[in-house]
Amino acid sequence: MMLVLAALGTFSITSAKVNYTFSRRAADWTAAYYEADAEAEEFLARVDAELAEAERKAYGGLPAANGETANPAPGEAYSRFALENMEALKADYPGLTIEAGRGKITVSANFQSVSRPQTNLAVELSVDAPDYAESGVLTGSGQAGAKARYAITAWTQWQPEIPAEATEQPLWDGKMG
């Protein structure tokens, strides 16, 4: 009887240790994911501000950095200003990639958790010019019911490959503390 109780006690301790280990890993991963998520959300706010500035330059007649005023073809001007502003973000986001073509700008960025570097978040955006009615009225993102300045085309959490030797270690080595 004592042998059965000792075996059950050992099993309980081992099970509790495994549960604690997995719970701690899940909590650490969740905190790291939300850390990367917050950084990505800050990036989206910066992108939105830069695109709003591009709208003002292209559609509002405000002078651009080079002294030009709004282009009579506002969609082309917006694309140019938006691309310039997205390129300027590379100083703060070194891994930022920007592709432009066919009137669309695609922006990709990766955000890595500082506390847990193996937790990464990849974000991809598609930027289109706002709608500009023939009447000269901007119907883009600044108006009620209008489309957004960008569309999120990917929001993906990923982790680098774990080496095989790291996964072959036991969860518990039998030592307490």
pTM higher than the cut 0.75: no
Tens of pLDDT, residues 101-113: 877 899 999 998 8
Backbone angles phi, psi at 111, to 5 degrees: -120, 130
Tens of pLDDT, residues 139-177: 444 555 556 789 999 999 887 777 666 666 666 666 765
